[in-house]
Amino acid sequence: MYKLKLSISILTMAVLFAACNQSQENQKSPESDSLAMVPAVPVELQDTSVNQAYKCYEELKDVLVTSNASEARVAAAELSAALRMVKGSENTAVLADKIANSTDLSDQRSNFTALSNEVITLFKKSEISSGSIYVQYCPMANEGEGGFWLSSQKEIMNPYYGDEMLNCGEVKEILTKKL
């Protein structure tokens, strides 16, 4: 029975890994090539405190993409301070503190999942003045449990795996200015 479970687990991981490691040529379409040439409109949120929190979140996400635990600590501390300026986001700031207080990249990425879930809710409720926020998802993050994150760019840059599986993921939702 153990061998059967092990075989199924290995097969499942192999399928997920293969799905996330498709070649760049297979993922690009003429439409995506033309979109890549158009510079992204910077994301701006109407509330200045929320806007600052989003910028700090983006910095933390970008640092996790580069797999730099020490820079993630600094970015998370800045995000925590920014979140404390947003009414009702004190508990979310505590999640950023967990990343800031950790030196372990794996632990930081694990805490980034809970943090992302909270800030996704915050930014969905916020008014966007310009740009688009992409809600992205990797099914392999957190040992196959999956993980969401936000990005100002449509292109997938996975903060859970960095260059190990940089493009693993997909856009699940796009947040834009409400008309």
Domain positions in the chain are 43-175
Contact 145, 12 (CB under 8 A): no
Q: Is the pTM of this model over 0.85?
A: no
Which 8-state DSSP code applies to residue 34?
H
CB 133 within 8 A of CB 151: yes
Q: Which residue has the tokens 């957190």?
A: 142
The helix/strand/coil state of 175 is: strand
What is the residue-level pLDDT of the chain in tens, covering all 179 positions? 545 443 444 444 443 344 444 433 334 333 333 344 445 678 999 999 999 999 999 999 999 999 999 999 999 999 999 999 999 999 999 999 999 999 999 999 999 999 999 999 999 999 999 999 999 999 999 888 999 999 999 999 999 988 788 888 999 999 998 87
| DSSP assigned state of 152 | S
